[in-house]
Amino acid sequence: MAIRFEDIKEHIGSRVVWDDRADIFTPEAARAIRAKVEERTVVVFPELDLTDAEQLAITGAMGEKVRLTARNNVQSNDEDVYQVTLDEKINPQPEYVLGTFFWHMDGITVDMPPPFATLLSCRIAPAVGGETEFASTYAAYEGLPAEEKQALEGLKAVHSVRASLSPIADAIPEKHRERVLGIGLVKEHPLVWTHESGRKSLVIGTTADHIVGMEVPAGRAMLIRLQEWAAQPAFSLRHKWTKGDFVIWDNTGAMHRAIPYDKSTGRMMHRTSIAGTEAVAA
């Protein structure tokens, strides 16, 4: 039997249903899952309980595996699977994880196309907090009034990790604040990404610092309004993690963020990434 998909919300999210767990690891399943991620942005496998080897197998079957932390020059704790945790005994740069409390796209400040997809396995689910929220930037663009779409054409935003960490900069210990804020590159991206498929999405999130050629206050206000627009309930999804859940999302068509959680919850996620095949293009 093949795997099946059920929609979670109208504009975002599908849940995978299977009879035989082995059906998830076939080449046909990898193709179907990739297509579903492109179509529905977020794909949830409830309580799949993957091992790292299985997660790496799915990652590799869907595309080219990429080590994002190495690309971002972040100190990492594993060669192939990044352990997302606030425990500094495992993760030497927890500030990088605190930055995930704010809307962002992964790999937008590295010298390569943004990763196509991020894959997360929940190893320890917190009792309180730690949900992940996703906002479809395809649905958000699509839903804009025509005159607003028109107004965004040709605009570019400047992205940096420094901008995305600005809400927590003063909470980073001073001795390594500058090093953390200096992670990644400063990159200019069109606000509207016209994908090779012809579909359009917004390239937004807290990495977007200002809009090129626009007064900083007006540009920042526009970026915040677009973030709020994309995060509205119709275009977004909140996933409450249960241990063993596995979620794949289209990083090129979504922002995401974690609901704040405390280190004492022990929250632990294992992350892999699939390389993107196209640069952000207007």
Binding positions for Fe ion, rule: CB under 5 A: 100, 106
DSSP 8-state code for residue 242? -
- Closer CB to Fe ion, 16 or 269, in the complex: 269
205 or 219: whose CB is closer to Fe ion? Answer: 205
98 vs 144, beta carbon nearer Fe ion: 98
32/84 with CB nearer Fe ion: 84
Integer angstrom CA distances of residue 7 from 1, 44, 237, 246? 19, 10, 12, 16
Kindly state the smallest distance separating residue 107's Cβ from Fe ion, in Å: 9
CB 106, min distance to Fe ion, A: 4
First to last CA, the chain: 41
Q: 147 in helix, strand or coil?
A: helix
Q: Minimal CB distance to Fe ion: which residue? A: 106
CB of 102 vs Fe ion, minimal distance in Å: 10
What whole-number distance in Å separates Cα of residue 202 and Cα of residue 155? 11
Environment class of 185 (CB within 10 Å of its CB; exposed 0-12, middle 13-18, buried 19+)? middle
Length of the chain: 282
Q: How far is the CB of 251 from Fe ion (least distance, A)?
A: 8
Minimum distance from residue 3 beta carbon to Fe ion (Å): 26
Judged by CB, which is closer to Fe ion: 4, or 238?
A: 238
Q: Which stretches of the chain are DSSP H helices? A: 27-40, 52-62, 68-71, 94-98, 137-143, 146-152, 161-164, 174-181, 216-230
